Amino acid sequence: MSKNIHIIEPRPYAKIGATFKVRGIVPLSWLKTEWGWYRGDLSIEFIDSDGQTFIGTGIPLPEIGWLSRLMGSVFFEKTFQFDWINVGFLERSQGRINIKITGENREDHCIFIPLIVDEFEPEEGVNPEIVFRHSRMEEIITQYEEDLRNYNAASQEIEKRRNVKDGLSKEGPWDSYLFGPAASTAHGIWQILEESNDEFSEYLYSEEDTMERELEERYKDALRWRGPLLRGIVSKIGPFELRVFSDDHGRHFHVIHRDKRINARFSFPEIRLMNYKGSQNTISSKQEKRIREYCLTPEIFRKFEEEFAKRPQK
């Protein structure tokens, strides 16, 4: 009794058309949940040459009867058809795709099948890099997932360092002995929005910012694969974020304070308050002026320029 899924069709590297069938036999061990019952479908993803899922759906399974229990497996079958929404992915991948079929345990119960969508193969031949990635997609995605786990763990440690400095800085004046020589940038953003009258002081987090930039560079391929959701923080000081969203239109950034329900849009490079996005509170003209002074300091302004340079060209 096999513990592995058996794919009847399509076979690896099979040439398929716009309509094709997936069928096979899956062991019940792939379907059993921690509560003891069997799930009613298999997950299936269609993956392009960049490792991105462009279709995600399920393969319904028949009822698990006495014969399936006796055999320890169940037959599955489903017909799929590409439509116009999928054309861009297929063209970009030059017809080279993978399907990924997954059971209950996504790590142990998973299979990748490389396929070729015949009509999207270029007459002049497929890009060798696409051919290489096509054959190694499972390995590539597994590595990306491991890299993201390492990135998240290291990122949390950097955040803990910032939190320690936040706590110490609230006990008294910022101490250059504790936090290094005087920096060229302004003090914490929370003092700006709290209407503090303190003068600009040293920037506490330059070491952590450097560590964060190095971390992003080390894992840039995995971060690009994951997408832009959590990227784009130019400066994070205490509860405040200066954030550039890579999918925003136009050159602007956000000043965000989640507890105070502030999400203000500022233009770049002018650093002018534009409007608000779902904010319950607003920023005064004095606060806007101090934010502008902070953002125009050379170190922070340079970080904005670097972040905007990462954005994909529209």
pLDDT in tens, 226-236: 765 445 678 76
Q: Does domain 6-123 have CATH number 2.40.50.140?
A: no
Question: Which of 13-17, 31-35, 71-75, 218-222 is the least confident region?
Answer: 31-35
Long-range pairs, 64-68, Cβ under 8 A, ≥24:
64/28, 64/31, 64/38, 68/28
Which ranges in the chain are annotated with CATH 2.60.40.10?
Answer: 6-123
- The pLDDT of 127-135, averaged and rounded, is 96
Cα–Cα distance, 246 to 230 (Å, whole number): 10
CA count, 13 A, side-chain hemisphere, 42: 30
Between 267 and 223, name the one with better pLDDT: 267
Mean pLDDT of all residues in the chain? 80
Strand 6-9 and strand 273-276: the pairing is unpaired
Q: How confident is the model at residue 79 (pLDDT cuts 50, 70, 90)?
A: very high
Q: What percent of the chain has pLDDT above 70? A: 77
- Asked if residue 182 has pLDDT above 70, the reply is no
- Asked if residue 159 has pLDDT above 90, the reply is no
Nearest to 55 by CA among 40, 63, 45: 45
Cα separations in angstroms, 287 against 78, 86, 205: 60, 48, 22
Q: Is 264 helix (H, G, I), strand (E, B) or coil?
A: strand
pTM for the structure as a whole: 0.64
Cα–Cα distance, 126 to 263 (Å, whole number): 46
Q: What is the pLDDT of residue 185?
A: 36
Cα–Cα distance, 301 to 304 (Å, whole number): 5
Buried b (16+ CB within 10 A) or exposed e, 42-71: bbbbbbbbebeebbeeebebeebeeebeee
Cα–Cα distance, 124 to 140 (Å, whole number): 26
C-beta of residue 189 within 8 angstroms of C-beta of residue 236: no
First to last CA, the chain: 53
